[in-house]
Amino acid sequence: MSENNTDECCPRFEPEPWDDKTLIWENRRFIKARVTSIFHIPLNFGAVMKRNVSAIEAASAKPDTMVVLSDENSLWGADVYIEVTKDILGANMATISGTFLSKVFEGPYRDMRKWIEEMKSFVHSKGKHLQKLYFFYTTCPKCAKKYGKNYVTILAKI
């Protein structure tokens, strides 16, 4: 949540630093939480985020730009990784390391299958082997509507 503007909970996303980039992460720190879904449609994402962001803020562990990744590993749920600046007592902590290709997509969530196929082709065109996909939903639906852009960044671990 932005402290400066009560009408804005997500900062405006700038795609350039994320689009068509190679990212190298070493022990990037996250809280790991589980979201319940039905056919990849999250049911309690907001509640999971609210609970964890409150814990992050209480521990003064919020980064300047918070990256929230989703690992859509089941039709019935997803692991969500919420970036933090330090370990938080009582939280399920995780680190993510590796080399990632990132690409930014814009449009409705119903285009996700198309974006995934495009991302797989993108990785293949770079001569790389795809190990795992993470999805960075850059703004909540309310802020996406407000800004007029629904950006999703897909990170491919290679």
Domains of the chain: 21-157 (3.20.80.10)
Q: Torsion angle, CA of 35/150/2/70, rounded to 10 degrees?
A: 30
pLDDT at 41: 87
**Per-residue tokens: 75:** 């039709």
pLDDT at 2: 39
**Per-residue tokens: 102:** 């990132």
Q: What is the pLDDT of residues 32-82, one digit of tens each?
A: 999 999 988 899 998 999 999 999 999 999 998 889 999 999 999 999 999
pTM of the model: 0.89
Among 153, 147, 120, smallest CA distance to 135 is for 153
| pLDDT over 90 at 141, yes or no | no
**Per-residue tokens: 157:** 């671990």
pLDDT at 7: 55
d(CA 122, CA 103) in angstroms, rounded, equals 9
Q: What is the mean pLDDT of the chain?
A: 92
pLDDT, mean of residues 97-105: 98
Beta bridge partners of 132: 157
Q: Which ranges of 27-94 does DSSP label H, i.e. alpha helix?
A: 45-58
Identify the three-state secondary structure at position 104.
strand
